[in-house]
A and B are shown apart, each in its own frame.
Chain A
Amino acid sequence: METILRTENLYKTYGSGQTKVNAVENVNISIEQGEFVAIVGKSGSGKSTLLHMFGGLDTPSKGNVYIKNQNIFKLKEDELAVFRRRKIGFVFQTFNLVSSINVWENIVLPIGLDGKKVDETFVKDIIKTLGLEQKLHNFPNTLSGGQQQRVAIARALASKPDILLADEPTGNLDSKTSDEVIGFLKMSAQKYGQTLVMITHDEDIAQIADRTILIEDGKVVEQ
């Protein structure tokens, strides 16, 4: 097994002096390729900050993040953006879809940004599996929460990322739909050898993961 994501003494500190808060404190973890890891913790425990640093969306106060042995914070801003687009897929709780373009355009947007050709059979396969075939020409705001989340997942998967980072991907969904969304993420990860790192506060969902990392007050208390 190969380590795909590794952090080294990762810190994120806000404020200074008496108001100093460690949102993330001395996190050392390694995630293997193909692993499905759930990061569990109460809200405000620093899990989102941690996930954002995994993806280079946030810079650490101290420490390093290595993806495939590349220290991502050694990259220049534009290099990091390209690296992120090619290697990392994000699924957010708030979907973050572009409301002025339709579902299909939303899904292939990141591929277009990279100037790559859309692998239509692959993307259509994802769309079919996610049950979005009938909705391709709809605009995001005409879809239900579950459907919008499916679009966000399809978008994250369409560029075939090595790592999928999901921040409470089921936060707005009912339990049956969320079971299904998690199942789908897991299946996709298995099928395409992707690594899945998912934040959740729902311990029922964490059962499905290969490994659970418990975060309390920014620290890893259990792996």
Chain B
Amino acid sequence: MKKCKSNRQSFYIVIAVILFLAILLFDFVTIRMEYMNYQDKVRILCKMISEEDMIQSATRILKGSKDMNIEAGEKILADYGYQLENQNALYQLYKEQCTQIITLSIILYITCVLIIWAICIIEKQKRKMEIGRLEEVLSNYRKEIYDIPDISSNDFINKDTEKLYFNIQSFGDYLKLLSKRIYEEKEETKSLVTDISHQLKTPVAALKTSFEILQQDDLNPDEKKEFSYRRNLQLKGIENLLEALINISRMETGMVEIKMENLCIFETILDAVNRVHLKAEEKRIQIEMDADEDLQELMLPHDKKWLSEALINILDNAIKYSPTDTCIIIRMMKRITFLRIEIEDQGIGIPKCDYNQVFKRFYRGNSKEVKAQTGSGVGLYLTREIINRHNGTISVSSGEKGVGSKFIIQLPYRI
């Protein structure tokens, strides 16, 4: 900054000096011209008095004759006491003109210097103002005010400052995005804590009640059995929730390693089906597999343990939210890059506006059917993470006849 300032100052000093030299040169030239003029006049005078025939000498002068014999004239003039560099009216005139020229040029020079000085001061002040604006913007940033006025390109006289302003502006936009993201993350963490505490609160409260009741002495064996059962149920619920949370945190921190092995995908699906089979049977829900024979032997890179976990989460939901005596169909379709797996149920379905939400952590639907069931809202989130790790995709839409939900999973044949 200091260097810039001194640069600017020396620039003005150079201009002033150049101006001074120019005026000096101009003065010198004009004074010299005046002097020559004066000499010419004296010469003409000398010529005129040295010759008798005035008209002849006048015409000779006018014709531009160079050979002027002025010595005789000079002598006559000297005799009469008029010397060239001396007091005579013409010399006085010449001197007066010189004084005028010098005075005028001094006035001109002073005016110019004053103007330059004024410009210098105005610019200095403007620059100060511009810096002030930048400072204001920066102090606004500190106060987390990121909206700064747009400027047109004429607002700044100093192009460097303008560039700086634009840079600061774009930095501010970046800060704005950053602070927004931090805010969102903070909110997410908040809601995460709320969610977890909420999820834990109900079973823990129920557990506490069960224990309190069990501590009473006047319980009959039936009651004792009943509350022991409830206690175990709540404990199991907490255990499941914790397990889901641990899975999520391991998945998110990258501690879970998906080990891809080329295995028969049909068997992995069957495995998952077998693990939910009991629950399905309780509600008399049939699980059908619809796959061509060659697909039943298809080998596909996947992690058997985690993928079946992902499928179990979907099937669990399908069973949970389907009425009794319905059917769940698992279709396998061979596409070009992906194996397409569709899991369709005849349950309560998912409203279209929730399609995107169901895969979010701790999201649970708002319908009373969903609220009637226990669940932590982490299953589908985990499923999506697992499928993602397989370079696959998962999405949901409504069932083919408009009833129930259809989950579509795509898994690549090659990774």
Contacts and interface: CB of A to CB of B under 8 A. Distances in A.
A interface residue count range (under 10 / 10 to 19 / 20 to 34 / 35 or more): 20 to 34
A20 interface: no
A120 interface: no
Residue of A66, A179, A182 most packed against chain B (CB within 10 A): A179
B336 interface: yes
A131 B392 CA distance: 17
Given A180-B410, A187-B391, A9 B396 contact: no
A150 B173 CA distance: 38
A203 interface: yes
B412 interface: yes
Interface in B97-149: none
A203 B352 contact: yes
B183 interface: no
Given A6-B174, A28-B173, A180-B340, A212 B356 contact: yes
B170 A204 contact: no
Contacts of B335: 176-177, 180
Interface string B403-415: 0000010101011
A144 B169 CA distance: 49
B337 A184 contact: yes
B395 A190 contact: no
A204 B393 contact: no
Interface string B334-369: 011110100000000000100110010000000000
A196 B150 CA distance: 31
Given A208-B393, A208-B395, A179 B177 contact: no
B43 interface: no
Contacts of B410: 179-180, 183
Interface in A1-27: 3, 6, 8-9
A183 B337 contact: yes
A130 interface: yes
A121 interface: no
A43 interface: no
B224 interface: no
Contact of A207 (B170, B177, B396): B396
Contacts of B173: 6, 8-9, 28
Given A8-B173, A129-B414, A180 B337 contact: yes
A143 to B, nearest CB: 13
Interface in A58-78: 64, 66
The secondary structure that dominates the B interface is: mixed
A191 B336 contact: no
Contact of B340 (A129, A176, A208): A176
Contacts of B95: none
Q: How large is the interface on B (under 10, 10 to 19, 20 to 34, 35 or more residues)?
A: 20 to 34
Contacts of B359: 207
B176 interface: yes
A182 B392 CA distance: 10
B337 A204 contact: no
A155 B392 CA distance: 22
B336 A179 contact: no
Nearest to A191: B391
Contact of A8 (B170, B397, B408): B170
B337 A129 contact: yes
A29 to B, nearest CB: 8
Contacts of B412: 129, 183, 187
Contact of B393 (A129, A150, A183, A191): A183
B336 A180 contact: yes
Contact of B338 (A3, A6, A183, A205): A183
A30 interface: yes
Interface in A207-222: 207-208, 212
A203 B353 CA distance: 9
Nearest to A30: B177
A129 B410 CA distance: 14
Given A179-B340, A205-B395, 11 more contacts: A9-B173, A28-B176, A64-B170, A128-B414, A176-B333, A180-B337, A180-B410, A183-B393, A183-B410, A184-B337, A187-B392
Which 5 A-B residue pairs are closest in the complex by CB-CB distance?
Answer: A131-B336, A207-B395, A183-B410, A183-B393, A187-B391
